[in-house]
């Protein structure tokens, strides 16, 4: 006897269940719901004043967001306006019922087919759906819901740049980069000629974002680990013009030579090929391959495929710099970068060409 084929929306719900469980959520039916059963609980068909929510998300036993399921193959951008129905319905429902919650209006919302997912944070200064590689972990949403200001708002409140010791091109690069962040523009390209101090710009901006912007962890991707050592030395040698403190006095830098990212690391420097190994869940990676360019390791241009890795959730890095991305950002390594940058936080990509340039991306 053949198994009945699932309808597109049923297929989507099966896939969304898998996404939720992989990210640490326990999926329950409304009739049997126990929101204190785990750190994160996703309740199917939760009733509200405007109809049931496909999934209502509870983090630390408080309502924090929702997931709207759409049939596999549906273009999600065409249904963005429907997302407010869930928020309106929940907000009306809490007027008469004491649901445990972080806010009367749900802070976070996903629209997903199980294959493609859009995420919206209603706490951001500019609220708009953006594509994410996967769903976030419950503890992440709980933390974000309790922050006084989200990262994207903090990026609008950076103090004026102290330009002491900076070349004019470096000043311009940082100011324009931060302008892009304030305007919530997802991509920016900073052009700096050979010898113009690109890594210094990366060090200075990383310092400002970690110290003043509230970023927790930054990823710096390189083509060869020797370039990573150079980036580490530049970071360690950076002295803040604000108080003369060195970068290493306040922040931990890890050059990734194993497949374990230290929880205390504020800046993780890795080759893109090792990061791919980490995302594959491999215990280790041949260190000799870290010294070979990702361009040299190319397999005829065939793209690598990446799946969700719970040890490295998509929100692990607030920002991403990528070096030599004219070789690694497209084609073969595209999914590795998508994984790292398609989160709810900011990310930026650093590029070197002829002449060398730095590109930035916010996700």
pLDDT digits (tens, 9 = 90+) for 233-243: 999 999 999 88
pLDDT digits (tens, 9 = 90+) for 322-358: 776 555 455 677 888 888 877 644 444 333 333 334 4
The pair of three-digit structure tokens given for residue 156, joined into one six-digit string? 């609008």
The CATH number of residue 115's host domain is: 3.90.1570.30
Top pLDDT among 247 and 186 is at 247
Write down the pTM of the prediction.
0.89
Q: Of 41, 72, 42, 71, nearest to 54 (Cα)?
A: 42
pLDDT digits (tens, 9 = 90+) for 19-74: 999 999 999 999 999 999 999 999 999 999 888 999 999 999 999 999 999 988 77
Among candidate residues 87, 120, 146, the one where a domain is terminated: 146
Give the span between the Cα atoms of 50 and 93, in whole angstroms: 9
DSSP state of 273: H
Q: How many domains does the chain have?
A: 2
The CATH number of residue 292's host domain is: 3.40.50.300
Is residue 353 included in any domain, yes or no? yes
pLDDT digits (tens, 9 = 90+) for 151-204: 999 999 999 999 999 999 999 999 999 999 888 886 667 777 778 888 899 999
| One domain for residues 22 and 168 | no
Query: Which structural domain, as residue segments, surrounds residue 211?
Result: 151-361
Strands (E), the chain: 26-29, 40-46, 53-59, 62-69, 108-112, 117-121, 130-132, 187-191, 218-222, 253-255, 267-271, 319-322, 357-361
| One domain for residues 219 and 297 | yes
Is residue 187 included in any domain, yes or no? yes
| One domain for residues 88 and 215 | no
The pair of three-digit structure tokens given for residue 49, joined into one six-digit string? 């004043």
Helix (H, G, I), strand (E, B) or coil at 181: helix
Is residue 89 included in any domain, yes or no? yes
CB-based contact 59:107 (threshold 8 Å): no
CB-based contact 152:126 (threshold 8 Å): yes
Among candidate residues 92, 125, 146, the one where a domain is terminated: 146
| One domain for residues 123 and 159 | no
Segment 247-265 shows an average pLDDT of 95
Is residue 3 included in any domain, yes or no? no
């Amino acid at each position: 006897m053949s198994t009945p084929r699932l309808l597109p929306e049923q297929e989507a719900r099966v896939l969304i269940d898998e996404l939720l469980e992989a990210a640490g959520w326990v999926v329950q039916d409304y009739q049997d719901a126990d929101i204190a059963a785990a750190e994160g609980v996703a309740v199917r068909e939760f009733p509200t004043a405007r109809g049931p929510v496909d999934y209502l998300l509870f983090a630390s036993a408080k309502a924090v967001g929702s997931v709207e399921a759409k049939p596999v193959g549906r273009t999600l951008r065409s249904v963005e306006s429907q997302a407010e129905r869930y928020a309106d319905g929940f907000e009306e429902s809490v007027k008469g019922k004491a649901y445990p919650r972080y806010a009367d209006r749900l802070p976070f919302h996903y629209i997903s087919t199980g294959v493609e997912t859009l995420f919206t944070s209603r706490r951001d200064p500019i609220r708009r759906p953006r594509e994410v590689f996967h769903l976030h972990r419950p503890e992440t949403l709980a933390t974000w819901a309790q922050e006084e200001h989200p990262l994207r708002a903090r990026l609008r409140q950076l103090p004026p740049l102290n330009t002491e010791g900076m070349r004019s091109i470096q000043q311009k690069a940082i100011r324009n980069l931060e302008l892009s962040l304030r305007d919530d523009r997802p991509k920016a390209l900073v052009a700096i000629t050979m010898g113009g101090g690109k890594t210094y710009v990366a060090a200075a901006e990383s310092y400002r974002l970690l110290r003043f912007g509230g970023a927790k962890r930054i990823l710096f991707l390189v083509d060869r680990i020797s370039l990573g050592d150079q980036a580490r030395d530049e970071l360690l040698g950076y002295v803040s013009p604000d108080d003369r403190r060195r970068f290493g006095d306040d922040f931990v830098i890890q050059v990734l030579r194993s497949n374990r990212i230290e929880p205390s690391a504020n800046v993780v420097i890795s080759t893109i090929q090792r990061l791919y190994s980490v995302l594959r869940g491999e215990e280790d990676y041949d260190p000799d391959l870290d010294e070979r360019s990702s361009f040299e390791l190319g397999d005829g241009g065939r793209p690598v495929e990446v799946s969700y890795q719970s040890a490295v959730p998509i929100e692990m890095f607030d920002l991403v710099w990528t070096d030599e991305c004219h070789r690694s950002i497209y084609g073969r390594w595209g999914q590795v970068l998508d994984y790292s940058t398609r989160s709810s936080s900011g990310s930026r990509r650093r590029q070197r060409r002829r002449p060398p340039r730095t590109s930035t991306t916010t996700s």
